[in-house]
Amino acid sequence: MVKTCCVYKCHNRFNVEAKSRGISFFRFPKNKRQRNAWIKAVNRKDWLPNNNTWICSEHFLDGWHGYEPTDGNYSPTIFAYKETEKNVSQVARESRHLVREKSQETLHAEKLVRQQYEIKQQVSLFHHSSYCMEVEENPGNDEMCDLDVMDSDVELPSLKKTVERLLVVATNIFIPILVHND
């Protein structure tokens, strides 16, 4: 009797071609637990294997069966009939999904760049404030202060609050990025 694989739509036979491709054939195991796992994996309705039932090595991950239940090769897992080809609408849907994800990532990256730029500006202003002095108001003295304050100078109390707020924002932005990159 010729050895043929019992899996649906598998046409492997024990012959010279199978030997040249390195295909082996296995009988169903005697161990009831493993035998039942193989029968369930083959998934044929109202079918039980007999002593002449074989399954080829193409249905096992490593091309050989295992004996431990925790082993990925304990039962056959590769079946060509279960793999379906994607139709045009599925491919189009997946491509739209990828484009949408990429655009969201791009927007997120642009937002991060803008926030980094704003933080750099605020830090620059903060450093600028270190050599600008506050103007003390002297109601009784109309003399000029040593340092002329222009409209472009920044008020220190409001700048300190802004920098504190920006540090909190920067921490919330960069800590998740660092955690994500690990």
b or e along 98-122 (b: 16 or more beta carbons within 10 Å of the residue's beta carbon)? eeeeeeeeeeeeeeeeeeeeebeeb
What pLDDT digit, counting tens, does each position of 157-167 carry? 566 677 677 77
Dihedrals phi, psi of 27, to nearest 5 degrees: -80, 160
Mean pLDDT of 65-86: 76
What is d(CA 127, CA 121) in angstroms, rounded to the nearest whole number? 10
What pLDDT digit, counting tens, does each position of 115-136 carry? 888 888 887 777 776 655 555 5
What three-state secondary structure class fits 41?
A: helix
CB 21 within 8 A of CB 30: no
Dihedrals phi, psi of 54, to nearest 5 degrees: -125, 155
- What is the reported pTM? 0.43
pLDDT computed for residue 11 by the predictor: 86
Mean pLDDT of 27-49: 89
CB 148 within 8 A of CB 97: no
CB 122 within 8 A of CB 162: yes
* Residue-averaged pLDDT of the chain: 76
Q: Percent of the chain at pLDDT above 70?
A: 70
- The number of helices, as runs of H, and strands, as runs of E, in the chain is 4, 2
